[in-house]
Every structure is written in C-alpha cells, then in structure tokens.
Amino acid sequence: GEDVEQSLFLSVREGDSSVINCTYTDSSSTYLYWYKQEPGAGLQLLTYIFSNMDMKQDQRLTVLLNKKDKHLSLRIADTQTGDSAIYFCAELWAGKLIFGTGTRLQVFP
Amino acid sequence: NAGVTQTPKFQVLKTGQSMTLQCAQDMNHEYMSWYRQDPGMGLRLIHYSVGAGITDQGEVPNGYNVSRSTTEDFPLRLLSAAPSQTSVYFCASRRFTEAFFGQGTRLTVV
C-alpha cells in the first residue's frame, strides 16, 4: 500500500527557520498537503501543492516538491512559539487522503 | 456554516459495548472518511465514502462499520468495543482538493 513517512520530532529556536521533511512512495499522487494540529484540536490545512509544481510560497511557508525523489518539505520562516504543533504531510492517492506519522515541532525561546 | 461536526467529543465504553460516532457536514461534499489517530502512527484511514450509498474500507477497517444514507451524514459504528479501539477519531469531508476535519472524538475502551 501507499506509504508516507516523516521524522517524529523537530526542535528549533524561536526566530530560526524550521524544515519538516516527508517522503512518499507513489508518484501518481495528484496533490500533496501539509496539515497542522495543535494540542486537543483537529487538523488545519496549511497549504497544498499540485504534483506538477516544484514550489509554492505562502507568507512564512514554503513548500518544495522533488518528484524524482518523492520528497516534500515544509519550511517555516521566522518560527514562533505559536508554531509549536504536530505537522502532517498527506497525499491524495486513488481518491484517498493518506497521512504520514506527523512531526512534532517544538519551538524554544 | 458549521463545517464538519462530530459527536460526542468524549466517550468511555466498556469492553463489548456498542456505540455510534456521529459525523455531519453541511458543505455538500461527496467524499467523507473516518480516521483514527494513535501516538506515533499518524492518522490511519478506517472507512471512506465517495457518495451517498457508496462506502469502502481503508487501512484499518476491522471492528468498524459505516453507512452513507445521505450526503450529509457518515456515522461510524463500533459493534463490540475492544481496548485496542481506544483512540482519537476524526471525520473528514472533501469535495475536490481540500479536506475539512471535525474536532475529533476521544474514545476510551476499558
């Protein structure tokens, strides 16, 4: 079956950039997503990228897609304590949204 | 605009009990799905539906049933709860590219 992988933890200092990485296995995915989950809450869509794009920027967020390596990344510029959350990578494959394990981002002062 | 509404928010069941987790959306979305979230395992797909009257199994369907009699509602049934079903359950709906999630149901089976 389809597999989406992420590292479990990332710790950064406030003001630095954060880069969260994700790899997926099926090149036929049409859309790839980044979701944010704050403690005790549901999932909030941050951004998504169509599979024929290489990069998408939205304010402090930059998504890079390397289709050859099946690698997706999310860069958060000027990371703030409010960015502390779990970040999920997901792909739309065969009509289903498949999620990675999530990366817990901790931002320290 | 309520979006995706899940009820209840919290539930404690005894082993062997049955219950239904409710999910409703008011966005006229065709796609609806149920996920469970467990520590270190991300969100795993339980069942999904591509429209009223059509359902299919996801990655972890055992122990759960679903039906989709209307576009708006997609209930998830646990026929005989087991401790392994202790988890946080999320319902989602999607029209094309963007999926919307409910706030989740935290279920504990003792």
10-residue stretch averages of pLDDT, chain A, 109 residues long: 85 97 83 92 91 91 93 96 95 88 95
Give the separation between CA B97 and CA A30, rounded to whole angstroms. 9
Distances (CA, A) of A78 to A14, A60, A107: 7, 7, 11
Distances (CA, A) of A53 to A3, A66, A74, A92, B63: 21, 9, 14, 15, 40
Mark yes or no for CB contact A99/B35 under 8 Å. Answer: yes
A28: closest CA among A98, A101, A92? A92
Give the separation between CA B92 and CA B35, rounded to whole angstroms. 8
Contacts of A52 (CB under 8 A, 6+ apart): none
- Which residue of A lies nearest to B59 if distances are taken between CA atoms? A1
According to DSSP, the β-strands at A55-58 and A71-76 are unpaired
Assigned token pair, A23: 């790899």
Give the residues of chain B that fall short of pLDDT 70: 1
- Number of Cβ pairs < 8 A linking chain A and chain B: 49
Q: Which positions in chain B touch A41 (Cβ < 8 Å)?
A: 103-104
Mark yes or no for CB contact A101/B42 under 8 Å. Answer: yes
The pLDDT of residue B1 is 58
Mark yes or no for CB contact B103/A41 under 8 Å. Answer: yes
Distances (CA, A) of A100 to A28, A29, B38, B44, B85: 17, 14, 12, 9, 20
According to DSSP, the β-strands at A61-66 and A71-76 are antiparallel
Interface test with A, best of B5, B9, B37, B90 (most A CBs within 10 A): B37
The pLDDT of residue A42 is 87
Q: Is residue A71 within 8 Å of A21, Cβ to Cβ?
A: yes
Report yes or no: B42 at the A interface, CB cutoff 8 Å: yes
Give the separation between CA A74 and CA B91, rounded to whole angstroms. 25
Map tokens 């999310």 to a residue. A74
